[in-house]
């Protein structure tokens, strides 16, 4: 097998030979650890961290998990896992696991409670608030880290059972821009790719993505690509991914949209476009072509800071590639123009016919293990499987399929996350239920979370695995939840693949699965009869199948969990295949027939002028702060990963800041010095890491430390309402 150039560089010894030892070393450096041992007593489960969806084989002894190896035959990870997967069982038995419900007492300390008391308290307080202030005075914040069955039950319970209108998830922070972009461009939220495309592409363009750290096993799939691919990474920072790429385009933060429009213009001017694809499968191209005329190379150079030759070269590479794939994550989505930036990527794929063929696509990689499930089943801003709360026919349809009166379904959309936060600040929302997310660390602009948002809430319920999280510590009622490994259900990974997670141990203490907690709340609330058929996760899976029927995500051909387990997961859509029994194809990419989900079957070009960043640098705050993932061993707010000794050893224990040597020199800062970083909202102290991974005038702080969101600026994409975490203005100085 011929290796792509980057792999030759890393894998081959001086003599030019690829040895097993070198391969192992390379894998270790990337934290990719191959399977180690065998056993017949194995339960197969999908990893509960990132959206790659690797299969982990859990080796059980007397019904207790004894160890773990990585699914060697699974089509996603092909026998590999990253360090988080390897350590997946470690966080389960940590001392700060929530083991009993906790109620905040009159003296403000927590006291332990029995479940019935806790659930009565939950229902009594929320009902009081609703009776006094109406159904819109309460809200929930959910997650992309619980199962499909749990997400659906929670959304149905809150909205159809308890009469709530507002509920959103941490997925708003994560992939809302991609969702909105796909809906508007394709007519449905449908990431089109299958992971094999990473191996089939001859030109891979990553925009605002660091898969080496954030999706290591997807990156492993790129490394297997035998076509000597060109790998172009667009990122203001030099990352582990840019180091392995063939080209790194270090643009200025938030200049992507101008660059992508200029590239479209160059492709059009040179007639490097696929006329027949555009004519047959898209609409609004002519208007788009007129629109991008003003996006000249000079304009791109001015916005991005790249030389004209690099801009031209990017366009040439897209033209020369036979199978060009575009991949994006948070550098695009977490932006005040994230939706339009994602659509600018989609436009490039459409105009060059790079979609629906092997190795192509406009491909958003999602983040959390079940972010894709939350897109279909969380019942937050859209009704199940992409339906619309505001459409009476959709409400009727869901009512019929679930056998509940349609008038129990709210006829308006939920407020998005930041509007829920604003509603709390204004005093309109007085009760909040938070499940499997830790906004006391992860939400943008923390100065407001503590100062105004929390203090305005009359009742805050937090349902989490750990009682020690920043958010749980603020709760009036804490409900201890079982975690991954202590419950079963399904997740959907980034390539739309359903997979099963298995219970391998009982929940610690009196913790319960979110599923069981939701069922108990329904009974205590008095709406349990609505969910009498939702007995077990597998029952709910059957209900979800019926909700998906005749929608673009129809997976009614998946019989049950065991069919998923046998086939290494199955991608949606999967409708029963008459000719082929019900054997699913091994993989499926969307739009192979060029038909999209708008009524006329065409994809739309969507575009809009670029606008300046809502926050600007100035003499007082002259530096751009970038935030994101720091290491493959750290997961978000570190409630889980910090419980593993091995993972702790792989990551810095306290907050640090990467800054450019020239800036450091000017400010007299050396590596390990304490630096004070201020924004217009707050400040923090961090240890300096002087390195040219960032450009001059920019710094980077990983999101894994609670301090970071003291600094971030609360600006949001106007269509997706996703927060723009990635670029805000700060100052820095050496601490004296």
Ligand X SMILES: Nc1nc2c(c(=O)[nH]1)N[C@H]1C(S)=C(S)[C@@H](COP(=O)(O)OP(=O)(O)OC[C@H]3O[C@@H](n4cnc5c(=O)[nH]c(N)nc54)[C@H](O)[C@@H]3O)O[C@H]1N2
Binding residues (CB under 5 A) for Mo ion: these are: 174, 367
Q: What radius of gyration do the chain's Cα atoms show?
A: 25
Number of residues counted as binding ligand X (CB under 6 A): 61
Does the protein bind ligand SF4 through residue 254 (CB under 6 A)?
Answer: no
Considering only 234, 402, 522, 675, the residue that binds ligand X (CB under 6 A) is 234
User: Which two three-digit tokens encode residue 202?
Assistant: 């001859």
Residue 235: contacted member of ligand X, ligand SF4, Mo ion, none (CB under 5 to 8 Å, by partner type)? ligand X
Considering only 466, 491, 534, 621, the residue that binds ligand X (CB under 6 A) is 466
Does the protein bind ligand SF4 through residue 50 (CB under 6 A)?
Answer: yes
Does the protein bind ligand X through residue 514 (CB under 6 A)?
Answer: yes
Which one, of 48, 52, 59, lies nearest residue 74 by Cα? 52
Please list the alpha-helical segments (H only) found in 526-588: 537-548, 561-566
Comparing CB distances to ligand SF4, the nearer of 35 and 575 is 35
CB of residue 474 to ligand SF4, shortest distance in Å: 28
Does the protein bind ligand X through residue 448 (CB under 6 A)?
Answer: no
Which one, of 718, 613, 575, 725, lies nearest residue 184 by Cα? 718
Comparing CB distances to ligand SF4, the nearer of 198 and 217 is 217
Checking 63-67 for CB contacts under 8 A at 24+ apart, the result is 63/505, 64/504, 64/505, 65/89, 65/485, 65/504, 65/505, 67/37, 67/39
Does the protein bind ligand SF4 through residue 53 (CB under 6 A)?
Answer: yes
Helix (H) or strand (E) holding 159: none
User: Which two three-digit tokens encode residue 674?
Assistant: 């304490």
d(CA 217, CA 220): 5
Cβ atoms of residues 406 and 391 within 8 Å: no
Considering only 200, 209, 345, 372, the residue that binds ligand X (CB under 6 A) is 209
The site string for ligand SF4 over 56-85 (x = CB under 6 A, - otherwise) reads ---------------------x---xx-xx
CB of residue 535 to Mo ion, shortest distance in Å: 32
Using Cβ positions, the residue closest to ligand SF4 within the complex turns out to be 85
Residue 81: contacted member of ligand SF4, Mo ion, ligand X, none (CB under 5 to 8 Å, by partner type)? ligand SF4
> Which listed range, 129-137, 155-163, 263-271, 461-469, lies at the site for ligand X (CB under 6 A)?
461-469
Considering only 185, 337, 343, 437, the residue that binds ligand X (CB under 6 A) is 437
> Which listed range, 266-274, 298-306, 436-444, 591-599, lies at the site for ligand X (CB under 6 A)?
436-444
Residue 464: contacted member of ligand SF4, ligand X, Mo ion, none (CB under 5 to 8 Å, by partner type)? ligand X
d(CA 231, CA 202): 8
Does the protein bind ligand X through residue 101 (CB under 6 A)?
Answer: no
Residue 626: contacted member of ligand SF4, ligand X, Mo ion, none (CB under 5 to 8 Å, by partner type)? ligand X
Number of residues counted as binding ligand SF4 (CB under 6 A): 14
Please list the alpha-helical segments (H only) found in 526-575: 537-548, 561-566
CB of residue 369 to ligand SF4, shortest distance in Å: 7
First to last CA, the chain: 57
CB of residue 368 to Mo ion, shortest distance in Å: 6
The site string for ligand SF4 over 201-240 (x = CB under 6 A, - otherwise) reads --------------xxx-----------------------
Does the protein bind ligand X through residue 376 (CB under 6 A)?
Answer: no
**What is the three-class DSSP state of 184?**
helix
Cβ atoms of residues 656 and 701 within 8 Å: yes
Considering only 725, 728, 729, 731, the residue that binds ligand X (CB under 6 A) is 725
Q: Measuring CA to CA, how many Å separate 356 from each of 36, 592, 653? A: 37, 4, 44
CB of residue 720 to ligand X, shortest distance in Å: 13
Comparing CB distances to Mo ion, the nearer of 49 and 336 is 49
Chain Cα centroid distance, residue 547:
24
User: Which two three-digit tokens encode residue 586?
Assistant: 């091994």
> Which listed range, 45-53, 288-296, 511-519, 533-541, lies at the site for ligand SF4 (CB under 6 A)?
45-53
CB of residue 84 to ligand SF4, shortest distance in Å: 4
**What is the three-class DSSP state of 34?**
strand
Tell how strand 102-104 and strand 477-480 pair up: antiparallel
Comparing CB distances to ligand SF4, the nearer of 30 and 677 is 30
Site for ligand X in 132-171 (CB under 6 A): 145-146, 170
Considering only 177, 201, 210, 551, the residue that binds ligand X (CB under 6 A) is 210
CB of residue 45 to Mo ion, shortest distance in Å: 21
User: Which two three-digit tokens encode residue 232?
Assistant: 């172009």
Comparing CB distances to ligand SF4, the nearer of 53 and 386 is 53
DSSP 115-153: HHHHHHHHHHHHHHHHHHH-GGGEEEEE-SSS-HHHHHH
Which one, of 373, 387, 581, 592, lies nearest residue 497 by Cα? 373
Can you give the three-state secondary structure of 67-100, one letter per residue?
Answer: EEEECCCCCCCCCEECHHHHCCCHHHHCCCECCC
Comparing CB distances to ligand X, the nearer of 201 and 469 is 469
d(CA 704, CA 470): 13
By CB atoms closer than 10 A (0-12, 13-18, 19+), residue 93 is exposed
Cβ atoms of residues 340 and 111 within 8 Å: no
| Number of residues that this document lists for the chain | 736
Considering only 220, 237, 395, 519, the residue that binds ligand X (CB under 6 A) is 237
> Which listed range, 113-121, 276-284, 480-488, 648-656, lies at the site for ligand X (CB under 6 A)?
480-488
Comparing CB distances to ligand SF4, the nearer of 85 and 682 is 85
Considering only 223, 465, 558, 684, the residue that binds ligand X (CB under 6 A) is 465
The phi, psi pair for 101, rounded to 5°, reads -65, 150
Residue 239: contacted member of Mo ion, ligand SF4, ligand X, none (CB under 5 to 8 Å, by partner type)? ligand X
Residue 54: contacted member of ligand SF4, ligand X, Mo ion, none (CB under 5 to 8 Å, by partner type)? ligand SF4
CB of residue 517 to ligand X, shortest distance in Å: 8
d(CA 179, CA 172): 10
d(CA 675, CA 667): 10
The phi, psi pair for 379, rounded to 5°, reads 60, 35
Chain Cα centroid distance, residue 699:
23
User: Which two three-digit tokens encode residue 545?
Assistant: 């199948």
Note the residues at the interface with ligand SF4 (CB under 6 A). 47, 49-50, 52-54, 77, 81-82, 84-85, 215-217
Binding site for ligand X (CB under 6 A): 50, 145-146, 170, 173-174, 207-211, 213-215, 234-237, 239, 253-254, 256, 329-331, 334, 367-368, 435-439, 442, 463-466, 469, 481, 483-484, 514, 626-629, 632, 634-637, 639-640, 703, 708-709, 712, 725-727
């Amino acid at each position: 097998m011929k290796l792509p150039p980057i792999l030759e560089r890393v894998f081959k010894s001086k003599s030019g030979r690829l040895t097993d030892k070198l391969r192992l070393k390379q894998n270790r450096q990337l934290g990719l650890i191959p399977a180690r041992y065998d056993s017949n007593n194995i339960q197969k489960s999908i990893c509960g961290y990132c959206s790659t969806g690797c299969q982990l084989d859990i080796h059980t002894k007397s019904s207790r998990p004894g160890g773990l190896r990585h699914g060697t035959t699974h089509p996603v990870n092909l026998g590999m896992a990253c360090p988080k997967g390897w350590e997946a069982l470690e966080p389960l038995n940590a001392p700060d696991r929530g083991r009993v419900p906790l109620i905040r007492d009159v003296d403000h300390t927590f006291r332990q409670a029995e479940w019935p008391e806790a659930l009565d308290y939950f229902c009594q307080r929320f009902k009081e608030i609703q009776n006094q202030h109406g159904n819109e005075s309460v809200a929930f914040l959910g997650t992309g880290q619980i199962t499909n069955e749990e997400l659906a039950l929670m959304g149905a319970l809150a909205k159809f059972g308890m009469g709530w209108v507002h509920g959103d998830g941490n997925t708003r922070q994560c992939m809302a821009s991609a969702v909105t972009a796909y809906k508007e461009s394709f007519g449905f939220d449908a990431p089109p790719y299958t992971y094999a495309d990473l191996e089939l592409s001859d030109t891979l363009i990553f925009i605002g993505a660091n898969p080496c750290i954030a999706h290591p096993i997807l990156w492993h799939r790129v490394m297997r690509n035998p076509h000597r691919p060109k790998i172009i990474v667009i990122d203001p920072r030099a990352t582990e991914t840019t180091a392995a790429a063939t080209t790194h385009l270090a643009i200025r933060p938030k200049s992507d949209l101008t660059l992508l429009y200029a590239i479209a213009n160059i492709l059009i001017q040179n007639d490097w476009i696929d006329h027949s694809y555009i004519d047959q499968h898209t609409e609004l191209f002519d208007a788009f072509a007129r629109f991008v005329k003003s996006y000249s190379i000079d304009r791109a150079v001015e916005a991005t800071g790249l030389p004209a030759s690099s801009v031209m070269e990017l366009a040439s590479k897209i033209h020369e590639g036979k199978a060009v794939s575009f991949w994006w994550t948070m550098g695009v989505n977490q932006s005040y123009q994230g939706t339009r930036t994602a659509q600018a990527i989609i436009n490039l794929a459409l105009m060059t016919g790079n979609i629906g063929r092997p190795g192509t696509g406009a491909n958003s990689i999602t983040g959390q293990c079940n972010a894709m499930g939350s897109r279909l089943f969380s019942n937050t801003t859209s009704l199940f499987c992409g339906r619309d709360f505001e459409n009476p026919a959709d409400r009727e349809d869901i009512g019929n399929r679930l056998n509940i009166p349609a008038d129990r379904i709210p006829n308006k959309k939920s407020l998005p996350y930041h509007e829920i936060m604003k509603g709390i600040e204004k005093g309109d929302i007085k009760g909040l239920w938070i499940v499997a997310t830790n906004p006391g660390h992860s939400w943008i602009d923390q100065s407001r979370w503590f100062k105004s948002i929390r203090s305005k809430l009359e009742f805050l319920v937090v349902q989490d695995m750990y009682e020690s999280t920043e958010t749980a510590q603020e709760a009036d009622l804490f409900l201890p939840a079982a975690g991954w490994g202590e419950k079963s259900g399904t997740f959907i990974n980034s390539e739309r693949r359903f997979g099963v997670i298995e219970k391998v141990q009982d929940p610690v203490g009196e913790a319960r699965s979110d599923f069981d907690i939701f069922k108990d709340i329904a009974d205590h609330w008095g709406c349990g009869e609505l969910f009498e058929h939702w007995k077990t996760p597998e029952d709910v899976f059957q209900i979800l199948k019926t909700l998906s029927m005749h929608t673009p995500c129809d997976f009614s051909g998946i019989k049950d969990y065991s069919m998923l387990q046998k086939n290494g997961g199955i991608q949606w859509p999967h409708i029963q295949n008459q000719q082929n029994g019900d054997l699913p194809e091994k993989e499926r990419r969307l739009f192979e027939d060029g038909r999209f989900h708008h009524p006329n079957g065409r994809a739309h070009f969507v575009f809009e002028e670029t606008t300046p960043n809502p926050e600007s640098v100035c003499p007082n705050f002259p530096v751009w702060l970038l935030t994101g993932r720091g290491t493959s061993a750290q997961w978000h707010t570190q409630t889980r990963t910090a419980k593993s000794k091995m993972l702790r050893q792989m990551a810095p224990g306290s907050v640090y800041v990467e800054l450019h040597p020239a800036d450091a020199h000017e400010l007299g800062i050396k590596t390990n010095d304490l630096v004070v970083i201020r924004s217009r909202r707050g400040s923090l102290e961090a240890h300096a890491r002087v390195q040219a991974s960032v450009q001059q005038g920019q710094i980077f702080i990983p999101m894994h430390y609670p301090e970071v969101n003291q600094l971030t600026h609360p600006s949001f994409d106007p269509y997706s309402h996703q927060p723009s975490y990635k670029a805000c203005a700060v100052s820095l100085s050496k601490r004296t």
